[in-house]
Amino acid sequence: MTTGIVGRSPGRLAAWRLRRDRTALASGALLVLFVLVALGAPAIESVYGIGPRDQFQHKLDGYGMPLGCAGGVSGDHFFGLEPGLGRDVFIRLVYGLRTSLLVAVMAATLTSVVGVVLGALAGYLGGWLDALVGWFTDLTLAMPFLVVALALAPTLTLRFYGPREAVPPAFGVAMLIGIFAAFGWTTTARLVRGQVVALREREFVAAARVSGAGLGHMLFRQLLPNTWAPILVSFSLAVPQFVTGEAALSFIGVGLTEETPSFGRMIYQSLDYLQTDPAFVFFPGVTIFALVLAFNLFGDALRDALDPRSAR
């Protein structure tokens, strides 16, 4: 049974396990589709012929509801129109997916970099640096994220823009990424610290230390290459957390401006039309559910594939 995998490196063995996992293949294919849609949003807009800010109020009735069935779903508007403003739901979902993935991937990348650096330094050097990083980690974990985000976002906005100035969409995106990074590094830092503490007394690390290897060589050539598997799994599981976090903050009006397409803001706007236009909440709800589910399933499959004790 094992003759097909004898002699393979850990990376090739993990790839072999992923190819045999139907859940990994299905969720991975769905993630690739989401990423391609997000990256190709301008091209989709060009082919579709409608932008995320275009309004079609002439296709609304006197109460601001889309004409036609299922919220105005037609060949011209695949997912119908928003009540009130008459914006196309499909193209706003495409750009909402782009916004969500941009925020989540950038935040996960920053948290991974900060967490890996601080965790590796704390675990290898120990002493006062380990105690200081541990203290900051405990302090960050003790802060209520939602309360701090609610207080921090308006404060930062007013710090750079006046109450009557238009806030650029890029500023809201960057602010959300910064807030997520400020709170999200702790998990990766603790994970990497624990791995480095377990590795720093191993024979190959002691041999490199005796041979006069510097701090950079010890961290990036000896220790971190042996911790890449849990770091990769942590990254893959952090992205869906930030996707839901961005949707939750947008739902309560924190961070992103109204003109920026967002799943959370679309769901919030659809609450008033649950009975009269259920399609308005159905499409963004299903999209974010499928995105988060695909990330979580692929992250679980990746964790099993990278685990040398796994029998899958």
Domain that holds residue 26: 18-50+90-189+227-306
Q: Contact at 8 Å (CB) between 248 and 258?
A: no
Question: How much is the CA Rg of the chain, to the nearest whole Å?
Answer: 23
Contacts of 219 (CB under 8 A, 6+ apart): 120, 121, 124
Whether 244 shows a pLDDT value over 60: the answer reads: yes
Amino acid 79: pLDDT? 87
The reply to whether 207 falls in a domain is no
270-301 per-position pLDDT tens digit: 888 887 888 888 888 899 999 999 988 888 88
Q: Is residue 22 part of a domain?
A: yes
pLDDT digits (tens, 9 = 90+) for 136-155: 888 888 888 888 888 888 88
Q: 53 with 87: CB under 8 angstroms?
A: yes
End-to-end CA distance of the chain: 12
Cα–Cα nearest to 10, from 233, 310, 308: 308
From 233, 236, 246, select the one nearest 288 (Cα to Cα): 246
| Across 235-240, average pLDDT | 88
pLDDT of residue 21: 80
**Residue 84: inside a domain:** no
Mean pLDDT comparison of 7-16, 170-179, 298-307, highest-scoring range: 170-179
Q: Is residue 37 part of a domain?
A: yes
* Residue 108 domain-assigned (yes or no): yes
Of the given ranges (5-14, 23-32, 217-226, 255-264), which has the lowest mean pLDDT?
5-14
| Secondary structure element (H or E) that encloses residue 148, with its range | helix 145-160
Residue 1 reports pLDDT greater than 50: no
With contact defined as beta carbons under 8 Å apart, do 67 and 255 qualify? no
Residue 61 has a pLDDT of 82
Assess contact for 107 and 242: CB atoms under 8 A. Answer: yes
Answer whether residue 215 is part of any domain.
no
- Looking at the structure of the chain, the number of domains it has is 1
Decide if pLDDT at 67 tops 50. yes
The C-alpha torsion from 163 through 166 and 168 to 169, rounded to 10°, is: 90
| Cβ atoms within 10 Å, residue 215 | 11
What is the CA 161 to chain-centroid distance, rounded?
27
Helices (H), 200-278: 203-210, 215-217, 228-251, 263-270
**312, pLDDT greater than 60:** no
Q: Torsions phi, psi of 60, nearest 5? A: -110, 155
Residue 202, in any domain of the structure:
no
Q: Is residue 252 part of a domain?
A: yes
Average pLDDT over residues 64-84: 82
| Rounded mean pLDDT, 98-114 | 92
Residue 83 has pLDDT above 80, yes or no: yes
| Nearest residue to 157 via CA among 145, 168, 146, 143 | 168
| Residue range 164-206, pLDDT digits in tens | 777 787 888 888 898 898 888 888 898 888 888 888 777 777 7
* pLDDT of 216: 75
For 85-101, what is each residue's pLDDT tens digit? Answer: 888 889 999 999 999 99
Confidence (pLDDT) at 5: 46
pLDDT at 290: 92
Give me the chain's average pLDDT, please: 83
Tens-digit pLDDT profile for residues 258-270: 778 888 888 888 8
CATH number for the domain that contains residue 239: 1.10.3720.10
